[in-house]
Amino acid sequence: MASPTSVQQAVKTHYEKYVYPRFPLLTSVRLCDTYALNLDALWARLNGQKLEPRDRQILLAGCGAFSPYPTAVANPRAKITALDLSKANLARAKFHTRLHLHFNARFIEGDLIDAPALFGEKRFHFIDCYGVLHHIPDAVSALQAMHSLLKPGAVARIMVYSAGTRRSVQAARTALRLLRVEDVSTIRRLHRKAGADSRFKACIDSNYEAGFDWGLADMLLHPYAKTYRLDELLDSLAQARLEPILFIHPNALPDPDREIARLGDLERSHRLNINFILLAGRVEDSEMRSIWNRRKASEDTFITLNPVIQKSLPLLPFKRLKPSPKLGFENPPLDFKTGRLLSRFKHLVRKSSLEPVQWGTVQPHLQALFLTETAIDQSV
């Protein structure tokens, strides 16, 4: 078996060749679609606190060639650290972010496992590790590194491939390896020749990214792509003293324990068709999060707008918006009428000042993270 160091080198070499994701440099994101990356909103949701404006630290752990840009759009005043193994991905991400006039990200070449040594005393409020851990042989060490870099109350977003969902891709990868296929053009040729009902063809046709060389290479030529069973993922998190706070893949239930039970059932009956996406936090902060959840349910709170949604409101008289779902469920549409309802929350509003019928209309927007709640007494 190859050593972790040689696998890591092969992963780096892969991304130096196949920049991922290689979106055209003029690709822009709609401001409203970045709502779930906004740190103030996430922090309020999980901790019930307002963040100090001057101290917002975000780490993109394995940033790839694009994610610093939408993260900067969502958090124009945060300090973003974009870390990646690949020089080519970093260079592309830097160019894309700066071309769109965002200058609050710094770009660092390095291995996530070495990040605690690299960053010294620095700690982050939010670590985004999306689609990265399954490319790291010692994922537990990577998770432990993330744990040590999280501030108290901080959150990590994690996406890993699920074994159930990736079965056909893994079978195609194994077949190509046995055939010693190592380039995209040969895969394209095999795809053209494949019969209409072949599983290889279906596997490629069902993946949007496979339409691009960088996506096809990531899917089928990657030197290391592990898939996770639910228990393996939970076990790896537990070894790093991290725990799921909220699953955010499509159709996830809001309660993590119930979602774990649901995923287990789907996995056992071979019906799982999503990769795992979740927000995780330090086990040490569990009690703090529970206290806030209890207080939120029983005490008065302040409600205010997610800053990203607040900035999108001026568009609503001209255009109906429906932010793309990022928390696992369809979002309520934002139209002129909703815009008027939400404008009231440009300033802090006490929950106790809302009529029951108003509370009914506000709740879906709180769940969607368009609105956030904070404790009235921040000192507790």
Ligand X SMILES: C[S@@+](CC[C@H](N)C(=O)[O-])C[C@H]1O[C@@H](n2cnc3c(N)ncnc32)[C@H](O)[C@@H]1O
Q: Which residue is nearest to ligand X (CB)?
A: 64
8 A C-beta contact, residue 90 and residue 67: no
Nearer to ligand X, 51 or 88 (CB): 88
CB of 322 to ligand X, least distance (A): 22
* Minimal distance, residue 207 CB to ligand X, in Å: 13
- Which CB, 139 or 362, lies closer to ligand X? 139
CA-based nearest residue to 304, from 205, 207, 374: 374
Q: 215 vs 281, which CB is nearer to ligand X?
A: 215
- Cα–Cα distance measured from residue 307 to residue 314, given in angstroms and rounded to the nearest whole number: 13
The per-residue b/e assignment along 7-34, b for 16 or more CB within 10 angstroms, e otherwise, is bbeebbebbeebbbbbbeeeeebebbbb
Least distance to ligand X, CB of residue 18, Å: 10
How many whole angstroms separate alpha carbon 224 and alpha carbon 188?
A: 21
Which one, 120 or 195, has the nearer CB to ligand X? 120
Tokens of 117: 């040594």
Between residues 149 and 362, which has the closer beta carbon with respect to ligand X?
A: 149
Identity of the residue, 60 or 362, whose beta carbon is nearer to ligand X in the bound complex: 60
Q: Which is nearer to ligand X, 135 or 249 (CB)?
A: 135
Minimum CB distance to ligand X, residue 357 (Å) = 41
Cα 22 from Cα 92, distance rounded (Å): 8
Minimum distance from CB of 235 to ligand X (Å)?
Answer: 20
- Contact residues toward ligand X (CB under 6 A) are 8, 11, 15, 20-21, 62-64, 66-67, 83-86, 89, 111-113, 130-132, 135-136, 218
CB of 114 to ligand X, least distance (A): 8
Q: How far is CA 109 from CA 87, 115, 138, 204, in A?
A: 6, 10, 19, 32
> Shortest approach of ligand X to residue 121 CB, angstroms?
20
Tracing tokens 């130096």 back to the chain, one arrives at 16
